[in-house]
Structure 1
């Protein structure tokens, strides 16, 4: 299911902007504003969807998100202006955000005490799917015809339908009864919000590879242009090969806090190396860039493993969906504002800007263990200990 839905996401991430600008002929500014608005709506809806998943169970929410994603993606073919684009893209991105929120409790239900390892496998498969989607999008971009782009949109919708069909075989965890007290406990949990904020800052690293690195390579270094795609391939290979192995020891809040610290330090060193690519000739630039991307990928693995463990283990079992929705706000904000921040610092100030980004990662990671200890001290539960070990109904 993850492979199919991630392939659909890879198609959208790689070719969505080109489809709306080249085929629908929308102004790039309108597309950018629409995607930003959709991201903001997606963050808010994720919290609501998380609470709904707690009350009715995560599987119906997951299934609805896949079906709505398929319908909204197909509706891209009907977009004719900025207004219809905004309406459709908001629904599509919100549905994909809900998918991630609903998937978390199901992973916990299947994985039980080994949920972290299962999550690592899922993330490795996600990278394979996104890469496959990007390859399909590359075919359409190479063809550069209206028919090719429209066929790609149709394929995107079909992949979501395939994912929905496969989701029929997933376990269906039972709803968790609500406890007396305030409804929106996650929004009142300051230690948890602090952890989510730190993870959100470290999540800026996702846009380093997709926004800052390509523009830096092309406009500020002597590295060959093919290294833009080579960086993505190297990142994918490392994550697929090492995500499961490096995630196995991240099985408690304190080990997760230390994983975020390692992530921050590694991402900081990677940013410094990538900055230095502009200071060396082409043949050295390739080697230095490869080393920087490899370290960045390790930091990404540790950040993903630590974030998943903390988002789940620090959340009360009766409100896991709500808490996961709130935790996702940090990453959502990072993905929304990181492109502008990275462009301003890395491209506007060059090497000093890259060093500033690296320092931000290092400082954030260094703060993580202490913030996690404070959050853990306020907990009286363990999600892992109460995770549903199997499906609520036979499959």
Structure 2
């Protein structure tokens, strides 16, 4: 009886329809694989393969830059040929390219294979966005929140598995992680076969082929979203360096902050995200996120001054507030990114949005390590004000976007 009740509860958490559960399961499997690979990939190429760290960084940077432009044509293909088909093709390419990484012995091979992977990832990401819209039709905000919850759980589970390989520190352990990620891409593609074939939606007459590039409110949001995306490397890159170089907090705090961030995001995403449905809701959530970052960044800066245990407490409190802000920010991105895009062009619009976000992530490490760390406490305060200013634009941007949407019957 208890087992049946628990199963039913998990089933309700994982979606209210068959397609929803399929997409959530596929995304969960994929993110477990990502967690396995991302946490240990750099060490594999430097320690097991023997490539210099600067070559690994250069190869991944080149791959990322080239891959940036693939999301838009990939999204357009998803709109015209079907999001499920394009996403499955992209996953198949990623499965092959990921498995091929175990054969890498040179910088050139790593660059080529990583570039193929990044092109497929960008195209697949745009198709995934279009597919999310088609699957989550009844209560889209609730579905997207549940989807992100399981995505977070998948990354956490994969990261735990990666930790075991890192502890072993053998080539065989790293190869197992890479092949595990390749298998996750293949399994994700197979799961998508369980989804129905959603018909392609016809574009309205005289609709411009690159409508997203003429949509000024959406392009403005894309720029804001890319800039607000600097918040992600704050926890993964900036704060660990700050803790190790400027605070008396113990080193285990670095591991603790990842656990706190992932756990709170997973626990809060459905509760908060399910209430942020419309673009207007998204505009308000974007502003709330900025205000919460305005609190979390100074808390991180203050950790450099008090005694060790107070510093550790400040860091954990800051990460909690930051995690809460991240949930509001991601929910706002869903509501505005999907809500302002026309149904027939979701793939194209998600490709544009993904390009903006990826560009922000590419610039983030340099900005955060030079400006924020270079200025110290003043840099943290400047970052806090920057996030708050971005968030403040959210409500007016949402109203602007809704005013410029085509009205029914027009």
Mark yes or no: TM-score above 0.5.
yes
- Residue 181 of structure 1 and its aligned partner are, at CA, apart by 3.9
Deviations 1:254-312 (A, max 9, x none): 11001000001101210110111111111101111111001100110010000111111
Q: Structure 1's 184 and 227: CA in aligned 2 closer, same or farther, altered over 3 A?
A: same
1:341 aligns with 2:367: yes
Match of 2:382 in 1: 356
Give me the whole-angstrom Cα distance separating, in 2, the residues matched to 1:162 and 1:28: 31
Match of 2:125 in 1: 100
Structure 1: give runs of 5+ residues left out of the alignment: 383-395
What count of residue pairs does the alignment treat as equivalent? 382
Structure 2: give runs of 5+ residues left out of the alignment: 1-25
- Residue 381 of structure 1 and its aligned partner are, at CA, apart by 5.3
Deviations 1:56-109 (A, max 9, x none): 110001111111111110010111211111111111122223332212222222
Q: Is the 8 A contact 2:141 2:275 kept in 1?
A: no
Match of 1:63 in 2: 88
Aligned counterpart in structure 2 of residue 251 of structure 1, from 273, 277, 282:
277
- Residue 226 of structure 1 and its aligned partner are, at CA, apart by 0.7
Aligned counterpart in structure 2 of residue 35 of structure 1, from 60, 63, 80:
60
Displaced runs of 4+ in structure 1, greater than 4 A? none
Give me the whole-angstrom Cα distance separating, in 2, the residues matched to 1:326 and 1:375: 16
Say which SS state the counterpart of residue 137 (structure 2) adopts: helix
Q: How does 1:48-197 map to 2 (within 5 A)?
A: 48-179=73-204, 180-197=206-223
Deviations 1:25-62 (A, max 9, x none): 22212222222222222221001110000001100011
Q: How does 1:369-384 map to 2 (within 5 A)?
A: 369-380=395-406
Q: Is the 8 A contact 1:109 1:173 kept in 2?
A: yes
Give me the whole-angstrom Cα distance separating, in 2, the residues matched to 1:178 and 1:78: 44
Match of 1:234 in 2: 260
Q: Is the 8 A contact 2:37 2:177 kept in 1?
A: no
Match of 2:23 in 1: none
Q: CA RMSD in A?
A: 1.4
Aligned counterpart in structure 1 of residue 301 of structure 2, from 275, 300, 304:
275
Give me the whole-angstrom Cα distance separating, in 2, the residues matched to 1:106 and 1:77: 31
Match of 2:21 in 1: none
Q: Is the 8 A contact 1:55 1:178 kept in 2?
A: no
Give me the whole-angstrom Cα distance separating, in 2, the residues matched to 1:78 and 1:331: 31
Q: Is the 8 A contact 1:116 1:248 kept in 2?
A: yes
Give me the whole-angstrom Cα distance separating, in 1, the residues matched to 2:245 and 2:259: 20
Give me the whole-angstrom Cα distance separating, in 1, the residues matched to 2:41 and 2:102: 12
